[in-house]
Amino acid sequence: MNKVITEEEFLSSYNIHEFDIPLTSVDMAIFTVIDQQLKALLVKRSQHPAKGEWALPGGFINIHEDKSLDDTVRRKLAEKTGVDTSHLEQVQTFGNAMRDPRGWSVTIAYMALISADNIQLIADESSEQVEWITIENNQHLSLAFDHNDILNACYKRLKSKVQYTSLPINLLPATFTLTELQKTFEIILGSSIEKKSFRKRLLDADIVVETGDFRIGSNRPAKLYKAKKSGKEHLFPRSIQGSK
């Protein structure tokens, strides 16, 4: 005979420690551009499992400290870079019985875009080394767990978005020239973009404004721009092609 119980009674007798449930973590690909190359942040693990192997920054949700997944991710980002980010995006969640030797586990993968300016990388007790590594097409890295797959998924998302959004603007410092911005797009896209098309697209989109200053070199000075902070990324009506 089933006694009908209230939700309150149900909850008071509910104890998650009795269940076999998956471990849940977050991992992130933190992207930036340094020396004309796309880089992602990797850490060398100083703890078991996969001790000594390179991996994406990440870790378990602290259910007492974090109010939401976003909190967890921003906490991890700050631990390694000391900065917040202008663009944080959930990419994909990976979960299966095999990916972690501790058991069935789930990880929610994010990508963050930051400007490399003024970043000091921070090692801590969980990672003995922290480094920017160059990301290229068809590259083989031997990362811990399934972090290769995760990094690839994030890279793929970034490459896809460069074609129809203004997202790569978040990889640059606060002010930049249109040529610098174009170069950033090209680095991610992996091919060159026609200058006039790029500039028209961008200026028509009304997502950048002139600062009034110029970048001075040994040639014609370039107008400096900054991103209009509308909050949301601009979607272009057509996707951009590489050229030539």
Chosen from DNA, a second copy, none, partner binding at 97 (C-beta under 5 to 8 Å by type): a second copy
Q: Indicate whether 231 belongs to the interface with a second copy (CB under 8 A).
A: no
Q: How far apart are CA 92 and CA 84, in angstroms?
A: 21
Closest separation in Å from C-beta 79 to a second copy = 19
Q: Indicate whether 24 belongs to the interface with a second copy (CB under 8 A).
A: yes
Q: How far apart are CA 175 and CA 209, in angstroms?
A: 10
Q: Under a CB-based contact definition with an 8 Å cutoff, are residues 52 and 134 in contact?
A: no
Q: How far apart are CA 102 and CA 194, in angstroms?
A: 50
The SS3 of residue 102 is coil
Measuring CA to CA, how many Å separate 219 from each of 194, 222, 238?
21, 9, 33
Chosen from a second copy, DNA, none, partner binding at 173 (C-beta under 5 to 8 Å by type): none
Pick the binder of DNA from 44, 159, 199, 226 (CB under 7 A): 199
Which of these ranges, 8-16, 132-140, 197-205, 206-214, lies near a second copy under the rule CB under 8 A? 8-16
Q: Indicate whether 165 belongs to the interface with a second copy (CB under 8 A).
A: no
Nearest Cα residue to 124 out of 57, 34, 40, 48: 57
Residue type, 20: D
Q: Under a CB-based contact definition with an 8 Å cutoff, are residues 42 and 131 in contact?
A: yes
End-to-end CA distance of the chain: 76
Nearest Cα residue to 185 out of 210, 160, 217, 204: 160
Q: Indicate whether 10 belongs to the interface with a second copy (CB under 8 A).
A: yes
Residues 59-98 that bind DNA (CB under 7 A): none
Q: Indicate whether 101 belongs to the interface with a second copy (CB under 8 A).
A: yes
Chosen from DNA, a second copy, none, partner binding at 141 (C-beta under 5 to 8 Å by type): none
Q: Indicate whether 195 belongs to the interface with DNA (CB under 7 A).
A: yes
Q: How would DSSP label each residue in 194-215?
A: -HHHHHHHHHHHT-EEEEEEEE
Closest separation in Å from C-beta 215 to DNA = 7
Chosen from a second copy, DNA, none, partner binding at 93 (C-beta under 5 to 8 Å by type): a second copy
Q: Indicate whether 193 belongs to the interface with a second copy (CB under 8 A).
A: no
Binding site for a second copy (CB under 8 A): 5, 7, 10-11, 14, 16-24, 48-51, 60-61, 63-64, 66-69, 90, 92-98, 101-104, 106, 108, 235, 237-239
